Structure 1
């Protein structure tokens, strides 16, 4: 496990001064979004008035299926375009910026359904995630001396990450031969090849064998403790309470609650979002919150 950096401890402490209200301003936000709207026909999939993500902590984005969580991820990372709204990452406006540029700026994401290239090896998949590859240029590709040193650096970094994620023995195997949990690990490891400042994980535990769950949890905590900001979507409330520093709740495209995990689970607006109105229920009861990890409709 990585040793927590002082900046991480300070960021967590700073959250203790933040009001537990939707759209609250954070002391040191790495991602800020305001007025973001996305409609499909007459359905408002996303209608976020304001949302900020604190730097150097783990933030969970939760809500019932169809709340707009994945759509919000898609908008922030350039995989979809909004009807309205602005957002910035580390002070740089990103609205309308292509997904590749977003990634190069330091904000990367994983997907509900893993995107590993099945007919390439695990190591080749890892190499794809690296920045600044001179061999991608037609002219430098013709001169091995110009790209071989960088290729060696990339390979060494890839193998180091695969060892960290306990996938080094699979380096020469086709990615398509990996189990669902191993593919999740590969996607997370590949995301780190670009040294991101913010990693956005879309349902990292969906379809994962219980034997690998603790490993994934440990890696997410390690990301934070080594100074990487984490924003993740998850339905498993036990996991949310266990690893998140802050929780944002979406329902019907809107942010309806924010706060520390314990406070959010007892928030009546959150209970209503999951179970409907007129319920006097504490979401701290895991039995009530175990939802199937299915793909969102929006």
Structure 2
């Protein structure tokens, strides 16, 4: 499906997509005299897996923050699923259907795995101060949330850890927990910031399978990753950032051989294929 969607999309920076779920125009974020992000135009195709890559300091995580309401741009705006994102808080962005994970996991270490999962759900009447004293008003919803959490923990092979403190999990298990918790909101789009960072090889395959399953379930995935092998393996489309700008787009094989991309990663003077260099 995604391959067909990208068939007529030009392999160039800012390329328009046939059914874009996320669009950003003229987004600029400065920190003093430093321009961290300056994106003229950016689109993400619905129900696809898009990789956002680039050298360290390219502005990828900052751009993620701007799109998801964890930071705000001085110029430009984004639109998600037809809804303007300008000025929208991260909580409202999540309620609109776009959720994210972080490069450094945000699990609440002194709470159990199942408690972390329950926190991710929306529409919890028990969070209202007055209703909290009337259990019949929230017990049914709590049971629904718990059942949903158990199903996701089974899916991510964390069910046996449900009563363990999140702080006792390994780095890879915390990544799985964060992804599972994000799905408690039943999102339309999932944004993953370096999902493979710090994950041992035994869990890497599991994480990759889960990312592909998100697309199979009808969701859209945008992820930041430095491992070019992983990018090449699961992405439908690749967007490359350098010095805060988008410099190239296209299938993995196309962008890896792009001269501007090779210059960004390896410097202007080189004679080595980017993909071969990263693999080495």
TM-score (norm 1): 0.93
Equivalenced residues, count: 280
Which residue is 2:234 aligned to? 243
Report if the CA contact (8 A) 1:235-1:290 is conserved.
no
Question: In 2, Cα distance between the equivalents of 1:283 and 1:155?
Answer: 46
Residue 131 of structure 1: which of 113, 119, 122 is its match? 122
Q: Is 1:256 the counterpart of 2:243 in the alignment?
A: no
Task: After TM superposition, give the deviation of residue 29 of structure 1 in Å.
Answer: 0.4
Q: Where has structure 1 moved over 3 Å in runs of 4 or more? A: none
Question: In 2, Cα distance between the equivalents of 1:172 and 1:14?
Answer: 43
Q: Which 5+ residue runs of structure 1 have no aligned equivalent?
A: 1-8, 292-298
Task: After TM superposition, give the deviation of residue 290 of structure 1 in Å.
Answer: 5.9
Task: After TM superposition, give the deviation of residue 169 of structure 1 in Å.
Answer: 0.2
Question: In 2, Cα distance between the equivalents of 1:270 and 1:289?
Answer: 13
Question: In 2, Cα distance between the equivalents of 1:105 and 1:32?
Answer: 15
Question: In 1, Cα distance between the equivalents of 2:272 and 2:118?
Answer: 48
Question: Within 5 A, what are the aligned runs for 1:1-298?
Answer: 9=1, 11-285=2-276, 288-289=277-278
Q: Kindly provide the CA deviation profile for residues 39-93 of structure 1, in whole angstroms up to 9, marking residues without a partner as x.
A: 1111111000000000000000000000000000000111011111111000000
Question: In 1, Cα distance between the equivalents of 2:128 and 2:278?
Answer: 50
Question: In 1, Cα distance between the equivalents of 2:219 and 2:71?
Answer: 24
Secondary structure at the residue paired with 1:257?
Answer: strand
Secondary structure at the residue paired with 1:51?
Answer: strand
Question: In 2, Cα distance between the equivalents of 1:117 and 1:289?
Answer: 34
Report if the CA contact (8 A) 1:62-1:248 is conserved.
yes
Question: In 2, Cα distance between the equivalents of 1:155 and 1:206?
Answer: 29
- CA RMSD in angstroms comes to 1.0
Task: After TM superposition, give the deviation of residue 192 of structure 1 in Å.
Answer: 0.3
